[in-house]
A and B are shown apart, each in its own frame.
Chain A
Amino acid sequence: MHDFKQAAHDNLTNTHLRQTLRKSTRTSLLKRSQVVQELGEDTWQQLRRRAHQIKKETIAHLDEYLEQLEAHLTEQGVQVFWAETAAEANDYIIQLAKREGASFVVKSKSMTTEEIDLNPALQAAGINPIETDLGEYIVQLAGERPSHITAPALHKSREDIARLFQEKLGIDYTDNPQELTKIARQKLRQKFLTAKIGVSGVNFAIAENGTLVVIENEANARLCMTLPDVHVAVMGIEKVIPKLEHLPTFLRLLPRSATGQKFTSYVSLIRGAQSSGKAVHLVLLDNGRSEMLADPRFHQALYCIRCGACLNTCPVYQRVGGHTYGWVYPGPIGAILTPKYQGLTQGKDLPFASSLCGSCTDICPVQIDLHHLLLWLRQAVVSSGSDRHLIEAVAMKFWTITMISPLLYRLASRLVRWLPQRAFHYIPGWTETRDFPSPAPKTFREIWNESLK
């Protein structure tokens, strides 16, 4: 099983990685706060409230909106496939690729396809997935997974990328971003032109008219969706929004939160198959979402628009990086989604690996109560018994007995003061890096009784 603490240790002791993470997350946060300031704090808060309301309404009637969406898509000739599990979604895409006789597919950035492990599934079926988003391309070249929701290669410095290109593509070393981008584009161009299938994610799907919305900066998603004869879009069922008029709110929130841009370079609105000979498929993925929907406390995690801002602002993410979390979604939202989708045992450390500072909740563009959900998840982990700490459980019992009896509390205070000083020199988990204070000679209540009453 993935060991969070070990992974955190490895990354914390990697100075280069730590500097890269800190620099990238800080830059993102700075850019974000500039564009938010330009918009004005009041407007920003209004947008967040509005987005929250729209999501709340959508999630409360998700079944209806999904049916509407499906009906409109079908009318427009889009094939809709409901996938309950990751395996069903992958199978569908593999069968499609086989029918088309495709030996490879071009892909644009999509966390949902990461979630279902589409790439390994395609590879196992003898189909080569080719990532065309620059960040994803880098990560794929390195044989890694994205470490961030919106910036897949955030853990790599420019020099890291230059060395990777040099090694894997056999080119001369250059760390000029424009040149690196050009090289990747050249490598990908041929693939775009000959691909039979393009796979994309979906940022929003509009129920009232069956429009799929994809936003991006590199135009690679647009190429994936238009050049090949077959376009397969994969989306989690929570990505639906009721109306077109709801879209602008999200288009204002998402790029600002994600990359600190006022607007992304490209916004594609896809309505059905645009030309004859073109086929569009939509895979609607459940994969645990219905269960989340049924949980009154946690269903708000489905409001997430995957902007990645909570990762950037998280003091833990900033220091340990995305790969430490053990599954595709890192940071505060990942610490909720992983235990919820993968099981409490798999993600048992994650809700605890937070100081609950709350900066994620403050930054979230759709106002998900992230840090409080982590708090409730802790209780779920403890009561499910998926993470038994016998000593902790016993200590909690003793603590409770002491705290509900003022007499025992006073007695314990005395006892602690009889201990020799050096008893406080070794507190496991604390004194490895920090001094621990000795108890004050007198407690406040003693001082109160003696001289303050």
Chain B
Amino acid sequence: MKIALFVPCIVDQFYPHVAVSAVRILRRLGHEVVFPVEQTCCGQPAFNSGYHAEARRVAKRLVKVFSGADSIVSVSGSCTTMVTCFYPKWLMDPALAGDVRHIASHMYEFSDFLVNQLQTVDVGARFPHKVTYHDACHGLRELRIKSEPRQLLAAVRELELVEMDNAEECCGFGGTFAVKFTEISTAMGNDKITGVCATGADYLTAGDSSCLMHLNGLLKRQNIPIQTIHYAEILANQ
């Protein structure tokens, strides 16, 4: 299968190995992966901040870049949500309507793609650590992804998956919310971390690098020796 990779700007800039991991896994499974280099961003930062005209210009580009792709995979539940849930409701441009519908119904969050499209749970990974998974909100409540990443992680050799009791609670990132309401965001993040620490896990994983950036920033600042890692990187490890 030919798969077009959508790499969110935050992954491109700060966590490129998340996307590298996705490429490796998909190739290992025998698929062809392409990266349309003209892509930039889905427009979510402006959209969520209320700047819809600006967001629209950026979103339209993304639609054009991916309009020919049959399977689009993204390593972010949040950016996938922007395209699959919000584009169809919001990007009202008659000239683009067909393309919007097409990409909205052909873009998948990575774990959803592996489990539900490729019917693969075991990707041949090995990761000898204790890991806890945080349900990032967009993946959980917009895309309804809950079991997929857990199934994938459970199949990783030597990995011990432990659940925190506040796995579904928001970590407090929320895009510009994190900087506009620093104190509230931090309070939420710290409560999340308390839940993570209680599991005794060495690694905290999730499907959105942005949430992990926020949580990692808090962990580092407080010298808590728990590592953060996108689940795609775990799945790429052998």
B171–chain A nearest beta-carbon distance, Å:
8
B69 at the interface (CB under 8 A from A): no
Q: Which B residues are in CB contact (< 8 Å) with A361?
A: 141
Given A320-B184, A430-B179, verify A445-B35 contact (CB < 8 Å): yes
Residue in contact with A355 in the complex, picked from B39, B47, B58, B185, CB distance below 8 Å: B185
A315 to B52, CA, bound (A): 26
Given A352-B180, A356-B137, A434-B214, verify A375-B16 contact (CB < 8 Å): no
Q: Which B residues are in CB contact (< 8 Å) with A315?
A: 169-170, 172, 188
Given A392-B49, A400-B57, verify A406-B38 contact (CB < 8 Å): yes
Given A359-B170, A399-B46, A435-B220, verify A382-B51 contact (CB < 8 Å): yes
Contact B16–A444 (Cβ < 8 Å): yes
A9 to B142, CA, bound (A): 30
Q: Which B residues are in CB contact (< 8 Å) with A400?
A: 46, 54, 57-58
Given A355-B172, A406-B37, A409-B40, verify A432-B182 contact (CB < 8 Å): yes
Residue in contact with B57 in the complex, picked from A375, A404, A452, CB distance below 8 Å: A404
Given A392-B49, A396-B54, A437-B216, verify A403-B15 contact (CB < 8 Å): no
A216 to B179, CA, bound (A): 42
A345 to B20, CA, bound (A): 46
Q: Mark A423-453, 1 if CB is under 8 A from B, else 0.
A: 0000111101111110110111111110011
Residue in contact with A443 in the complex, picked from B13, B138, B175, CB distance below 8 Å: B13
A435 to B213, CA, bound (A): 9
Closest to B55 in A: A400
Residue in contact with A444 in the complex, picked from B20, B58, B141, B217, CB distance below 8 Å: B20
B124 at the interface (CB under 8 A from A): no
Contact A358–B52 (Cβ < 8 Å): no
B45 at the interface (CB under 8 A from A): yes
B8–chain A nearest beta-carbon distance, Å:
10
Contact B221–A433 (Cβ < 8 Å): yes
A80 at the interface (CB under 8 A from B): no
B187–chain A nearest beta-carbon distance, Å:
5
A18 to B7, CA, bound (A): 39
Q: Which of B49, B52, B180, B186 has the most CB of A within 10 A?
A: B49
Contact B40–A403 (Cβ < 8 Å): yes
Q: Which A residues are in CB contact (< 8 Å) with B189?
A: 434
Residues facing A in B185-238 (CB within 8 A) are 185-189, 213-214, 216-218, 220-221
Contact A444–B221 (Cβ < 8 Å): no
Q: Which B residues are in CB contact (< 8 Å) with A149?
A: none
A435 to B220, CA, bound (A): 7
Q: Which A residues are in CB contact (< 8 Å) with B173?
A: 355
Q: Which A residues are in CB contact (< 8 Å) with B177?
A: 352-356
Residue in contact with A429 in the complex, picked from B12, B13, B180, B221, CB distance below 8 Å: B180
Q: Which of A12, A361, A404 has the most CB of B within 10 A?
A: A404
Residue in contact with A353 in the complex, picked from B178, B184, B220, CB distance below 8 Å: B184
**A: which residues have CB within 8 A of B?**
5, 8-9, 12, 18, 315-316, 319-320, 351-359, 361-362, 375, 378-383, 392-393, 396-397, 399-400, 402-404, 406, 409, 413, 416, 427-430, 432-437, 439-440, 442-449, 452-453
Q: Could you give 14 example pairs across A and B, Cβ below 8 Å?
A: A8-B183, A352-B176, A353-B180, A355-B175, A362-B141, A404-B57, A406-B39, A433-B221, A434-B221, A437-B213, A439-B13, A440-B13, A444-B7, A444-B16
